[in-house]
Amino acid sequence: MKTETKSEFYWNGVTKNRGSFLLGTGVKVGEWKHYFYTGALEKAGRYVNGRKEGEWIYYNIDGNLKCAKYFKNGKEIKELYKKFTGGNIDEDENDNMWEAFFGEDCC
């Protein structure tokens, strides 16, 4: 399968998103990155046959990790809550704390 990589841009010239499509189909495949208008990374993940697959990582506009979600066949399977502690990324099993900070749905 041949692919083509494309990017979309905001009015200010900053990349809005970048990823690949199956040639001639418009179906998203492979790694994709989406950016805020400032150029900061908003989210990153992978598409398989036009559907989100595996772990997708979401960031705040200031660049801090917001959360991660796991997808299978385009459907969200699990929302993973993570935080930075001492330079490492640790999973946090205290969902209530994260819900209080981010709201019921962090992303």
pLDDT one-digit tens code per residue, 27-57: 999 999 999 999 999 999 999 999 999 999 9
Q: What is the model's pTM? A: 0.74
Distances (CA, A) of 60 to 3, 57, 67: 30, 10, 9
How far CA 97 is from CA of 7, 14, 46, 52, 91, in Å, comes to 37, 34, 28, 27, 12
What confidence tens digit (pLDDT) does each residue in 51-84 have?
999 999 999 998 888 889 999 999 999 877 665 4
